[in-house]
Amino acid sequence: MARWLLHIDLDQFQAAVEFRRHPELRGQPVIVGGNGDPAEPRKVVSCASYPARAFGVRAGMPLRTAARVCPDGVFLAQDLATYAEASEESMALLRTFPGRVEVLGFDEAFLAADTDDPEELAREIRAAIAELGLTCAVGIGDNKTRAKLATGFAKAVGKTGDNAPAGKDADETGTGIFRLTDGNWTALMAHRPTSALWGIGARIAKRLSGLGIETVADLAAADRHDLAAEFGPNTGPYLWVLGHGLGDTDIAEPREPVGHSRSETFPADLTTREEFDAAITRLAAQVAEETIASGRSIGRVGVTVRTKTFFTRTKQHKLPAPSTDVDEIVQSALEILHRFELDRPIRLLGVRVEYAML
């Protein structure tokens, strides 16, 4: 049997989780972000349902802008705890299938499986995810690069034809499964811009354009030494590899988490010591309680401060001994905070703890 890489991408994940508890919202332009108040400053869209995306709403867009382009949008507050539970439920389900799973985030994962019929495996996965009240697209590839890109085609195929552009903005009218391999790579990808490749963003694409490299075919034909001279000895040749659709043919071993963190960007800058202390106390207590509830002890505490001018710095402190005392963690976070020169308004505060090594 051949080794196949399957990339599973849960559709409009945060919105879909909200649909499970608010089924009356299905089909509506749902926008998740912040506290669900589109007038709240400095908050951005974390997820938009497909109907909302049709209005131009995108992740990362300020909520106020989303309200302007989609005046009939339904705004919901982020519920990260619920999304984490739904994500773990989905990933646990994927682990019941033959093969090994590499989790990429809340809403996507790779599955490496030895099978003669990867499409049948993909159909079984989609059916199982549907039992959870969620939907997903599955990209199939002979390596991770192609599997990841195939997911975009899985969402787009059936929308505008088999050669439809892949991408995050495809809607849910596609077939949901697509295979991208060495055999159809050139036909489907050669004419596309380099930014269509996983791992090439707008900045690198612009630099490639400056070298006369506009398409995936151009990148595949580029001289690796020229790429190395422009982008460095590691990145340059790697870009050439991407142009050929090459990539890892197995998944990484799962890594145990080493810590837990919380951060908050405030609607209005904090300006007083009392406000700083209250915010860090709340964040540190939340992180400590969640960590201890998971059965972990804490060995190190860190605090991140971002000022009004976007100057960002982190300081940390190793505890004298592993701790499961919330008050001790809070006190440590306050002591670290007070080591900063708190002479400017603060835009963001964050607390991170690292698990104690056994």
Active centre residues (catalytic): 108
What value, to the nearest 5°, has the Cα angle with vertex 331 and ends 330 and 335? 120
- Encoded tokens for 327: 């008050």
d(CA 271, CA 263): 17
* CB crowding 184-223: b at 16 or more within 10 Å, else e: bbeebbbebbbbbbbebeeebbeebeebebbbbbbbbebe
Which of 145, 135, 134 lies closest to 177 in space, CA to CA? 135
DSSP 190-252: TTSBGGGSTT--HHHHHHHHHTT--BHHHHHHS-HHHHHHHH-TTHHHHHHHHHTT---SSPP
Give the single-character DSSP code of 23: G
In the three-class reduction of DSSP (H, G, I as helix; E, B as strand; rest coil), residue 338 is classed as coil
Yes or no: say if 317 and 332 are a contact pair by the CB < 8 Å rule. Answer: yes
* CB 264 within 8 Å of CB 350: yes
| Sheet of 177-180, strands arranged across | 100-105, 108-115, 2-10, 136-141, 177-180
Strand, coil or helix: what is 352? strand
> Which 3 state secondary structure label does DSSP give 173?
coil
Residue 75 half-sphere exposure, CB side, CA atoms within 13 Å? 23
